[in-house]
Amino acid sequence: MKKRIHIAAALLLSSMMAVSAGAAAMTTVAANYDVTIKQPTGNNDTAQHTYEAYQVFKGDLSGSGDDVVLSNITWGTGVNGTNLLAALKASADFGATNPFAGCTTAADVADVIDKWEPDNADNENKAVHKAYIQKFADIVGANLSTVTVAGTPGNGTLSISAPGYYFIKDKDNTLDNAKLGAYTDYILRVVGPVEIEAKEEVPTIQKKILEDTKLKEANTASIGDVITFQLDSKVPDMSAYNKYYYVINDTMCDGLEFNEDSVKIYIDGSEIESAKFDVQTGDAAKVGDTQYTFQIVMDHFKDNYQDKAGKDIKVTYTATLTDEADRTEKGNENVVNLTYSNNPNHEYKGENEPSNTPGDGDVTGITPDSKTKTYTTSLLLHKVDGADKTKTLEGAKFELKGSGVNHVIIANATNFEADENGTYYKLKDGTYTLTAPTDATKDQYESTTQKYSMNATSTQHSGEGEDSYVEAITDVKGILTFAGLGAGSYTLTETEAPEGYNKLANPIDIEITAAPTLDAPNWKITKDGVELTKPTGIYECTVENNKGTTLPTTGGIGTTLFYVVGGTLVAGAVVLLITKKRMSVSDKK
C-alpha cells in the first residue's frame, strides 16, 4: 500500500520557530523550496546565527491547497535512518507503549508523527503529542547525517533543492556563551517558498538603584550609606529544555560591600522562599578565570516556575559604601549579567544539585552587562590669614554637620603615602591632587610618576540625622579634607580659631547637589551660595581668619579710640565754657 503523509499545516517540532500565515496557506505545489528565516521585531536575540537544514523525509509531492501530501516516503539525506529508527524504538519518552515499536521504514515513522499533527481531527491528546513532537525532534537532532544547506540570516535564506520534511537548527558551537543568543531546533514541511520567524527565548536582566521608590542608573551616597539594588527580568519559556539554568552574576567594586542576608526574590509579585535559591560567594562564585562578588542561583528553576513563563522576576539586595569607595568622578560601579541555558537540543547535566549551576560541557548564553554607579565626593578646606592669604593657619577646629555625615574620612598631609596603585599626586606646595600632570602643569608637581593613596580611616559621626557631625583640625599647611560625602545640605562651623585669630562668627553653608549618570556625577557644590571649583580634582573652599582685637594697653586702635573720645569731650567742655562766659558778659550789659 502506498504510504503518504499529510502536510496541510507546518509540523512544528519546537516551540522556538513559527511559520508565517502566508507561507502556511500554500495553494499549489511549487518548485522553489527556499526557507527565509527572520528575527521578529522585539526579539531579544541579537546574536549572529548560522542555520543548517537536514532532510528527514523525502518523497513525491502532490496535491494542492490544504491537501498537499508527501507520498512514497523514504529517509531523507539529512539523517542516518537506521540509527534514527533504532533510537526511536529504544526511547522511553513516548508513553508506556512506544508507538515506534512496530516501525520498520521511514513511511511507518511518518505515519506515527502524522497522527500527532496539531490539525489532525483525530488528535485528542494535543498537549501530550506536542511533548512527543519535541522528543522526536531531540532524537532526530542526535542522528543527523548530511547538511542539506547552511546559510546565515542577514540575507536570511536557505536554498533547499527538494520538498520534504526538514530539520533546521543552529550550527553546533556557534552560540556557546553567546551574548543574547539561543540555539533553536525545528522540523517543518517545505513544499514551496517558506518564510519563518525565529522564536528563540533569550532572557534579559536590568540592574537599577532603588532610591525613594524610584529606579536610577546612578546615584550619590556618603560613606556608610546602604544602597538598595533592584534587578528586573522575566521567567523564560523553558518547555523545550530538560533543565534550565538561571544564574545571576554580580560584580561589585571594592568600595561596595555586599550584604548577603539582604537578597529577596519576587516572581509574579510574590516573594519566593529562600530555600529556592542559593547565594554563592568566594570560591563558589568563581567561574573559570572570572571571580564574581556573588552569584544567585535558582534551584530547579524549570520545575518550579515553568508555569510562570513571561511573568516578572524582581530581585533586591543591598550593599554598603565603604572607606574603600572611589571618591573621584570614576565612581563605584556595580555590574550584573545573567547566565542561562540556551540550547534546547542539549542534554543538560548540571552540578551542585539542587543549585542547578552549569556543569562541564553544558552550553549556556550570557546577557550583556547591566551597570549602575554610585558617586561620593570630597571637600578640601584651606585656612588662611584674612590679611595675607599666602599665610596658612594651623590648628583651626571645625565641625561639619548634616544628614550625609556618616563615616567621613578626615585627612590632611600626614594621611598620604606612596602607592603605585594610588590615585593622588603630590604638588610642590605640599597638597595632593587627583589630577594627573600634563606637559603644561608638570612643573607644579613634586613628581609626575609617583602616586599616593589616602591612608586615613573614616571617623564615626556623633549625633543623629541632620544633627550628625564630625570634628577635625587643619594641619600645618592649613588644610583639612572631608572625604566621602554625598548630596545634601551641610554646615561648617569653626569651633576653635588658631591662636591669635578671631573665630568665625557664623557657620558656613555647604550645599552639594548632583545629576548623576553612568558617565559622570555632575556635582555642584556651593559655599554660602557661591559655586566651588576643583583645581586639583577636589572641590576646594578657602576660609579666612582675622586677628583678634588688640587690648588698649598694647596701643593701636584701642587707645586711639580713647584719645578721640577724650579729645572730643575736652573740646566740648571748652566750647561750653566760652559760651557760658559770653552769656554772662551779655547779661551785665
Could you report the per-residue pLDDT of 341-396, keeping only the tens digit for each?
887 767 787 765 555 778 777 888 889 899 999 999 999 999 999 999 999 999 99
The average pLDDT across 194-222 equals: 87
- On average, the pLDDT of the chain sits at 82
Q: Are 222 and 519 in contact (CB under 8 A)?
A: no
- The span from the CA of 475 to the CA of 481, in Å, is 10
pLDDT confidence tier of residue 432, bands split at 50, 70 and 90: confident
- The span from the CA of 222 to the CA of 459, in Å, is 12
What does the pLDDT read at residue 114? 83
- Whether residue 40 is preceded by a cis peptide bond, meaning omega within 30 degrees of 0, is no
- The span from the CA of 581 to the CA of 589, in Å, is 13
What residues have CB less than 8 Å from 324, skipping those under 6 apart? 254, 255
- The span from the CA of 109 to the CA of 513, in Å, is 72
| Residue 285: Cβ within 10 Å count | 20
Contacts 24+ apart (CB under 8 A), 123-129: 128/95
Phi, psi of 284 (to 5 degrees): -70, -20
Cell digits for 478? 592649613
What does the pLDDT read at residue 4? 39
Q: Are strands 35-38 and 194-198 parallel, antiparallel or unpaired?
A: parallel
Residue 465, sorted as left (phi over 0), alpha (psi -120 to 50) or beta, turns out to be left
Q: What is the pTM for the complete model shown?
A: 0.73
- The span from the CA of 268 to the CA of 272, in Å, is 10
What does the pLDDT read at residue 568? 53
pLDDT confidence tier of residue 19, bands split at 50, 70 and 90: very low
Q: Are 547 and 554 in contact (CB under 8 A)?
A: no
What residues have CB less than 8 Å from 359, skipping those under 6 apart? 348, 349, 350, 351
Q: Residue type for 379, please?
A: L
Q: Residue type for 492, please?
A: L
Cell digits for 146? 548530511
Q: Give me the count of residues in the chain.
A: 589
Q: Residue type for 415, please?
A: N
Tens digit of pLDDT for each residue in 472-528? 999 988 999 999 999 999 999 999 999 999 999 999 999 999 999 999 999 999 999
Residue 450, sorted as left (phi over 0), alpha (psi -120 to 50) or beta, turns out to be beta
- The span from the CA of 203 to the CA of 43, in Å, is 10
- The span from the CA of 230 to the CA of 313, in Å, is 10
Radius of gyration of the chain (CA): 40
Concatenated DSSP letters for 500-547?
Answer: TBPPPSSPEEEEEEE---SS---EEEEETTEEPB-TTSSEEEEEEE-B
